[in-house]
Structure 1
C-alpha cells in the first residue's frame, strides 16, 4: 500500500495541499478533504481510500467553481450544469454539487425565474412570451415559469407595450399610417407580447403620421417604382404604380395625388 511521505501547501492556493506517495507527487486535495480523511504523513492508503479522496476532492473543486460562477449573478440549475459540463466534470459529480447548492439555498429555480421576470418586466423590454421562451431555455419547468410570470400582470404588459410602441412610432414617422400600424403590431409580437395585449395597447399608442414626411417617403418610393415600371404606359402603368404603393401602406388619396402631379409634369 502506498504511504504518504510528504504534504505541502500549494503556493498559489493556501487552501489546497499537495500529497506525495512514496516520495512521488500523487495528487492535490482541498483542506477540508485533508481533515476529513485524516491525511497525515506516514499514513497508508488503500486503493479504495485513494478513489474516495480523489472523487470527493473533484466534488469540492466543482463546488467552488459553481460558487464562483454564481458570484456574478443568479443562475438556474441547468446553467450551472452546463458550465460544469464544459469543464468536463462527470454528471455524477455535478448532481452532488447541485444538490448541495440547493440545500444551502444558493440555487432555486423558482426564485431565479421570478427575479428574471422581475428584471425584464421592470425594464419593459421583453413581453411574457419571450420571457417564457428564454426561461425554458434555461431549464425552468413550466409550472415555475407560470408562477413567475404571474407577477407580470396584464396591466403592466399593456403599459410596457404602449411605451415600446410609442418609441417605435416616434422613430418611424415617415411610414404610412397603415404600414406603421402593421409594423407596430409585428414589433410588439416579436418582443413577446400576446395578441390580446397588443390590441389593447394599440389604442394607447400615439402613431399619428407626419404627413409631410410620409409624402416625401412616398415620393422616394414612387421614383424607384417609376424606373421599374417605365416600360408600361397608360392605364397599365398607373395600375402597377397604384398597387405597388398601396402595398407599401400609402393611402389611395396620396397615391392618386402623386400620380396626378407626375402626369401633369409630363404634359
Structure 2
C-alpha cells in the first residue's frame, strides 16, 4: 500500500495534477492525472492506495488523454473511424485504448462513417469540381465502406453532376482558346473523365457544347500553334519536307486540313 501525501497542480497545465506517494521510504512523485480522474477516484491527501488501484488510475488517465486528443482532432471537422484510429496510432495510444475510445465516440454520436461520408460529399459538391468516381475513391481511402460511399453519393444527382461538369467544361474551353476547337473538345472529355465523371454525364456535356468552332478564333489558334511548329522544324527541314512536318504536327493538334492549308500557304510559302 502507498499513502497519498500531496497533490499539486501542474504549472503548464492547470487541468492536470501531480500525485505524490509514500511507499514507506518517504515522499516521492508517483504519477499525474487529469482533473476528471482526480474527481472520479476522489483523490485526497492521506488516502491509502494499493498497486491495483494506482495502475487502474494510470490506465484510466491514459485513455482519458487519448480521448481528449481524439475530441480535439474532431473539433476541426468530421472524421472517419479510420482517420481517428490512424491519428491515435500516430500519437502512440495503446491499441486496446483506441478500440475503447472509438466505441465511446460512436456511442456519443461523435463518430459515424455514414454521416461523415454524407458530409464530405456535400462539401465536395460545393467546393470542388470532382466527379462521383473520385469522391468514392476518396471516401474508400478514408476507410468508408463501399456501400456507405454509394449511399452518400446519392446526394450527388445527375443534374448536379451535369451542372458542375458543364460549368467546368465552359471554363476549360475559354482558357484553352489557343488550342484548336477539336483539341479543346478532346481535352474537356479527357479531363472530365479524369475528374471522375461517368460517361453518361460527359456525353451530355459534350452534346451541349458549341457544335462548331468560331472561325476567327480557330484561325488565331492555328497561327499561334503553327508559328511555334515552324520555329521548331525550320532548322531541321525546308521546302516540301518542312511543309509536311508542319502539316502533320498541326493535324495532331486538331486543326482541319482547310485551316492547315491556309496556314501553310500564308506562312510557309513566303
Q: Corresponding residue for 1:185? A: 189
1:100-249 equivalences under 5 Å are: 100-123=104-127, 125-206=129-210, 209-230=213-234, 231-249=236-254
Q: Corresponding residue for 1:70? A: 74
* Cα offsets for 1:143-170 (capped at 9, x unmatched): 1101101111112111111111111112
Give the conservation status (yes or no) of the 8 Å contact 1:16–1:31. yes
| Local SS of the residue matching 1:140 | coil
Distance 1:125 1:100 in 2: 36
Q: Corresponding residue for 1:34? A: 38
Distance 1:234 1:98 in 2: 74
Distance 1:258 1:224 in 2: 12
Distance 1:4 1:151 in 2: 58
| Local SS of the residue matching 2:186 | helix
Question: What TM-score results when the alignment is normalised by the length of structure 2?
Answer: 0.90
Q: Corresponding residue for 1:258? A: 263
**Matched length:** 265
CA gap of 1:67–1:17, structure 2 versus 1, over 3 A, is: same
Distance 1:119 1:206 in 2: 31
Q: Corresponding residue for 2:7? A: 7
Q: After TM superposition, give the deviation of residue 12 of structure 1 in Å.
A: 4.1
Give the conservation status (yes or no) of the 8 Å contact 1:173–1:210. no
Distance 1:256 1:24 in 2: 94
* Cα offsets for 1:189-224 (capped at 9, x unmatched): 222211221111112235864443432332233233
* Cα offsets for 1:14-68 (capped at 9, x unmatched): 4322111122122111222223333322223322222211111011111111111
| Local SS of the residue matching 1:107 | coil
Bigger shift: residues 141-150 or 76-85: 76-85
Give the conservation status (yes or no) of the 8 Å contact 1:222–1:241. yes
Q: After TM superposition, give the deviation of residue 254 of structure 1 in Å.
A: 0.6
Bigger shift: residues 164-173 or 223-232: 223-232
Give the conservation status (yes or no) of the 8 Å contact 2:243–2:268. no
Give the conservation status (yes or no) of the 8 Å contact 2:82–2:143. yes
Distance 2:210 2:67 in 1: 53
RMSD: 2.0
Give the conservation status (yes or no) of the 8 Å contact 1:158–1:200. yes
Distance 1:60 1:263 in 2: 78
1:29-108 equivalences under 5 Å are: 29-108=33-112
Q: After TM superposition, give the deviation of residue 176 of structure 1 in Å.
A: 0.6
Runs (4 or more) in structure 1 with deviation over 4 Å come to 206-210
Distance 1:174 1:224 in 2: 12
2:38 maps to 1:21: no
